């Protein structure tokens, strides 16, 4: 009876730990999408304030995709070596820092470069989150995987709504922006309050993720694929040293040539589609303007000097 009570208590504790880890992971990855969708959600204000062309705005957005794609393979290798709470805290902290820089500058070149860095940072977010799925019981693992997959949709859906509401409120009430802006902002910077709010949420989530996902030694062993010794096979309990980690990491890079070709091909397609889309849009705008001018000219030519129709 005592053993049954102990097993039941352990099962309840495991259920609570699963619930906590799963809930925190969903919150963290939703925050990751918040930090990567802020600029897209504020693109209208950014374009009006800096007088950016559609091509420049598209280049800024594409810079994130390029950085994100280039970081995926190294991020996966890092996820096999380092604990999840380290990587997720680094990803959210760097993403928040990139948003902070964007919120304090009006230079399009700086914004594009920083947004590329944000793509590199956000590439670190998914491997540690996906790695946590191994901690869930096998009978519920598909359920938690589905919730983790939904978290990106939650973040992507709520970000435009939240940032628009915050920016609208700040503009309507003329709320003073507390941070300096370099070189300078020609328009009112109240819309940047949306970026500032995402920065606060990002840093707070990084701290939460670091401490909430600091797993015990048994959980860490399960995530690093450590084997248990058997009668016929003994496993060296000595931890992997720095040299062994480096050699293991280098061996993982043997597959990089093919993977890099795939990544480069994907990004070339992204650039081609983006350029083609902007070109077609520009041609349509020119066609509309030329049509309007022709109609206007024909209308003027149909009147005589006294304002009467000929």
Q: pLDDT tens across 235-271, in order?
A: 444 445 555 655 565 665 555 556 566 666 666 666 6
What is the token pair recorded at 96? 């928040």
Please state, rounded to an integer, the average pLDDT across all residues of the chain: 77
Average pLDDT over residues 16-36: 89
pLDDT for residue 213: 86
Q: CA 28 to CA 94: how far, in whole Å?
A: 14
pLDDT for residue 64: 92
Angle of the 108-122 helix axis to the 54-81 helix axis, nearest 10: 30
Provide the CB-side half-sphere exposure for 296 (13 A, CA).
Answer: 6
pTM of this prediction? 0.71
Question: Does residue 183 have a cis peptide bond before it, meaning omega lies within 30 degrees of 0?
Answer: yes
- The closest of 208, 224, 222, 225 to 21, measured between CA atoms, is 208
Tell me which range, 202-211, 266-275, 295-304, is most confidently predicted by mean pLDDT: 202-211
pLDDT for residue 190: 86
- The closest of 93, 236, 87, 114 to 182, measured between CA atoms, is 114
**Whether residue 232 has pLDDT greater than 50:** no
pLDDT for residue 272: 64
**Whether residue 274 has pLDDT greater than 70:** no
pLDDT for residue 185: 56
Band of residue 204 on the pLDDT scale cut at 50, 70, 90: very high
Percent of the chain with pLDDT over 70: 63
Say which range, 83-92, 146-155, 297-306, has the weakest mean pLDDT.
297-306
Average pLDDT over residues 187-196: 84
Band of residue 28 on the pLDDT scale cut at 50, 70, 90: very high
Tally: H helices and E strands in the chain: 11, 0
What are the tens digits of pLDDT across the range 109-131? 999 999 999 999 999 998 888 88
Average pLDDT over residues 69-87: 88
């Amino acid at each position: 009876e005592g053993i049954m009570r102990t097993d039941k208590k352990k099962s309840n504790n495991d259920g609570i730990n699963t619930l906590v880890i799963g809930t925190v992971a969903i919150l963290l990855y939703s925050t990751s999408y918040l930090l990567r969708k802020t600029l897209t959600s504020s693109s209208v204000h950014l374009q009006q304030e800096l007088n950016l062309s559609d091509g420049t705005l598209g280049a800024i957005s594409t810079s994130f995709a390029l950085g994100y794609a280039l970081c995926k393979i190294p991020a996966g290798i890092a996820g096999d070596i380092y604990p999840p709470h380290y990587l997720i805290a680094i990803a959210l902290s760097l993403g928040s820092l990139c948003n902070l820089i964007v919120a304090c500058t009006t230079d399009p070149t700086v914004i594009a470069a920083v947004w590329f860095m944000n793509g590199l940072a956000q590439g670190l977010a998914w491997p540690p989150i996906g790695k946590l799925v191994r901690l869930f019981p096998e009978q519920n693992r598909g359920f938690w995987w589905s919730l983790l997959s939904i978290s990106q949709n939650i973040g992507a859906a709520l970000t435009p709504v939240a940032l628009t509401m915050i920016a609208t409120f700040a503009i309507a009430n003329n709320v003073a922006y507390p941070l300096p802006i370099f070189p300078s902002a020609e328009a009112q910077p109240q819309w940047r309050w949306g970026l500032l709010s995402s920065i606060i949420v990002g840093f707070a989530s990084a701290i939460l993720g670091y401490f909430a996902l600091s797993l015990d030694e048994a959980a860490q062993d399960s995530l690093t694929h450590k084997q248990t010794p058997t009668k016929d096979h003994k496993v060296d309990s000595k931890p992997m040293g720095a040299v062994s980690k480096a050699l293991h990491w280098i061996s993982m890079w043997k597959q990089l040539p093919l993977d890099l070709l795939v990544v480069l091909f994907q990004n070339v397609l992204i650039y081609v589609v983006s350029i083609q889309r902007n070109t077609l849009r520009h041609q349509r705008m020119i066609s509309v303007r030329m049509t309007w001018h022709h109609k206007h000219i024909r209308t003027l030519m149909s009147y005589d000097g006294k304002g009467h129709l000929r």
